[in-house]
Chains A and B, each alone.
Chain A
Amino acid sequence: MRNRRTAEPSSSEITPESVFLNRRRLLAAGLGAAGLSVAASVAASVAASAAASAAASAISSSSPMVVSARGLSPGEELTPEDIVTSYNNFYEFGMDKDDPARYAHELTTDPWSVEVAGECAKPGEYAFEDIVSGFTPEERIYRFRCVEAWSMVVPWQGVPLRRILERFEPSGNARFVEFTTLYRPSEMRGQRSLFSSIDWPYVEGLRMDEAYHPLSLMAVGVYGKPLPNQNGAPLRLVVPWKYGFKSIKSIVKIRFTRRQPKTTWQLQGPQEYGFYANVNPDVSHPRWSQASERRLPSSLFEPNRIPTLPFNGYGAEVAQLYQGMDLRRDF
């Protein structure tokens, strides 16, 4: 197995700026001139220094990117890029953590279109480029807490979800928004598995006020690069105060609804996975405690187990969304 955490990346791991700029997505076709300069500055700094410090310097440099490290404590460090892109739950590609990184390359993400439907003025079929065009990508460094009690700190690039959804002019009837992941068994081997009980495609959803919360992000990149397939290319949700399974990947459908969507994990195990799925140390998963988490990278003799915070540490921003609700019942 290759070395995952050496400080110096091999030269092949450092993307030459020209190659980086030729990649589509975040760049030329995607997010317009402002986005291009952001990406270029990230690329330059990545190329200039070792990968580990590069991300940090890109974030702290005076790049025009909107940098936000909301809610992070001073001691919290970014989870290294190779772990963010190699330790994934994406059951469409297999059940093991390294399956997505191994098999997600089989997925074609260009061209990519998203169907918009339901309670909105502008339903239709939108190309990926049209959905994100004209926006400047923002950098958001968020904690990412999986329901399995591990967590990471990830620098995403994306557009506030609200900006994207407003393009489709949801009507007053839209109380929820439902997202659907691509269903393409020919390229997603996990969907061909005989031993999965998941009813594909994967579906997730948010209340509209959750979706419009400033922390909710439609991510198109991570670590200054377009999303790798295993991380949900070309566009995915990031809702940092909820368990990771809410942050649905590789979205092909957005539907505005009056009723609460039936989401995949809720259908799989209603006693175990709620619709809200807010990170909550006081509500255990029936099979394991949620009071603490292993912050990755974890090592054998320093497992890096830390207390889990209510709303994953974003309570000051989001707790008011749930006033009057019993979060033990609506977990």
Chain B
Amino acid sequence: MQVPNATAVAGDRQRRSLGQIIFKPCLALVLGLPALWLANAIRMELGNPGAALGADPGEAVVLFLGEWGLRFLLLGLFISPLRRRAGWNTLARSRRMVGLFAFAYLTLHFLAYVGFLAEFDGSLIVGDLTERPYIIVGALALLLLIALAATSTSGWQRRLRRNWQRLHRLVYLSVALGLLHLLWLTKDGFAEFAVYLLIFLALMVERLLARRAPTRQVAV
């Protein structure tokens, strides 16, 4: 495997194409689209209740944020395989951003539950967090993401060295808990869950294969 030295990296940076330069802002825009859609829907709701989010808008907002958070987490897990298999490095530079977007959606998911569904009722929230398994696993998944988001900076990456990578493998556990959360809250109709689960399993299998591969390239 070729190890680029500092000059090569600098040279690489100078040689980045226009496409590579605008890739990240474009991706940020795409990742932000659901939030923009939701902000507009909430704006419409304020003027005319029921106009955009239906008869039970609180529930609609919570589900919307949770679903996009999970999708973007899975998108984040696609990045390493794409670099490994397709050599697509442009996307790899945006891995942290994708993860932080997912984190933001899932934090808002939790806050929307606290505000719109639980109406800041402390005893109800404590009851949910201690008695409802699907909420407990969802909260655990979010706690893990908080730790990962907090240590996502280059500074922490340097400080933790190899441990950083170990720590950030917790994202797999977080996604698994998130999937369990989805499974346990579904009454019937498991199509969505099945799709997400299959994608997650495929990504995990790819990593196992990559770990066993003779290149000894570390799976992340």
Contact = CB atoms under 8 A, between A and B. Distances in A.
Interface residues of A, number: 38
Contact of B188 (A4, A6, A197): A197
A305 interface: yes
Contacts of A91: 188-189
Given A83-B55, A91-B188, A287 B134 contact: yes
Interface SS of chain A: helix, strand, loop or mixed?
loop
B119 A303 contact: yes
Interface in A72-86: 83, 86
Given A195-B194, A300-B116, A305-B119, A87 B54 contact: yes
Interface in B33-52: 42, 45-46, 48-52
B189 A195 contact: yes
Interface SS of chain B: helix, strand, loop or mixed?
helix
Contact of B50 (A5, A95, A195, A287): A5
Given A195-B191, A288-B132, A3 B58 contact: no
Contacts of B42: 300
Contacts of B51: 1, 3-5
B127 interface: yes
A3 B189 CA distance: 28
Contact of A197 (B58, B184, B190): B190
A4 B55 contact: yes
B28 interface: no
Contacts of B53: 300
A91 B191 CA distance: 14
Interface string B160-191: 00000000000000000000000011011111
A166 B46 CA distance: 51
Contacts of A268: 188
B128 interface: yes
Contacts of A297: 49-50, 55
B56 A87 contact: yes
B185 A287 contact: yes
Interface size band for B: 20 to 34
**Most chain A beta-carbon contacts within 10 A, residue among B49, B55, B133:** B55
Given A4-B50, A297-B49, A303 B116 contact: yes
Interface string A269-303: 00000000000000010111101101011111101
B187 to A, nearest CB: 8
A40 B184 CA distance: 48
A289 B189 contact: no
A236 B128 CA distance: 34
Contacts of A198: 188
A63 interface: no
A287 B135 CA distance: 8
B55 A195 contact: no
Nearest to A284: B131
B61 interface: yes
Interface string A4-44: 11100000000000000000000000000000000000000
Contacts of A298: 55-58
Given A83-B55, A198-B188, 15 more contacts: A1-B51, A4-B51, A87-B55, A91-B188, A91-B189, A97-B54, A195-B191, A287-B184, A288-B132, A297-B49, A299-B57, A300-B42, A300-B57, A300-B61, A303-B58
Interface of A: 1, 3-6, 83, 86-87, 91, 94-95, 97-98, 148, 150, 193-198, 268, 284, 286-289, 291-292, 294, 296-301, 303, 305
Which 10 interchain pairs have the tightest Cβ spacing? A95-B189, A195-B191, A4-B50, A299-B49, A5-B50, A87-B55, A83-B55, A296-B55, A195-B190, A300-B57
24 contacts: A4-B54, A5-B50, A83-B50, A97-B55, A97-B56, A98-B54, A150-B59, A195-B190, A195-B191, A196-B190, A286-B132, A287-B133, A287-B185, A288-B128, A289-B128, A291-B124, A292-B124, A298-B56, A299-B49, A300-B49, A300-B53, A300-B58, A300-B116, A303-B116
